Amino acid sequence: METLTDFFENLTLLELLTIVVAAILTPIGIVTSIAAKRRESIYWLLAIGSVPLLLGVLSLWAEKRALDYGLDLFGRRMDANAIARGWHEALISASIGATGTVIIVFTTLLTRQRRAK
């Protein structure tokens, strides 16, 4: 439980944005993919569904750039354990974005396949 609270206490703005966007777009994407009747709306849904993935990758890239220099937000040197924790947190943020996109895309594809029958 301590790891989870540490993760949320040390979120950057980009990581928080990734989590919030994935949390908002995933249920909206599921409902829209079930209710969508036209092909155009499915294409828009797939494009919007990629937003959490793009934010997760952007967050991972930004965190990687910061960790490559080994400096924290205040310009102090980080030890190896802090860099490893930073990588772990960056991967968690990126995987949250990827999971949101995968759920939206698979739900869309499954509903399209079910309607085609």
The full 3-state SS of the chain, as one line of letters, equals CHHHHHHHHCCCHHHHHHHHHHHHHHHHHHHHHHHCCCHHHHHHHHHHHCHHHHHHHHHHHHHHHHHHHCECCCCCECCHHHHHHHHHHHHHHHHHHHHHHHHHHHHHHHHHHHHHC
Q: What is the pTM of this model?
A: 0.78
Least confident range of 36-40, 66-70, 75-79: 36-40
What pLDDT digit, counting tens, does each position of 55-70 carry?
999 989 988 888 888 8
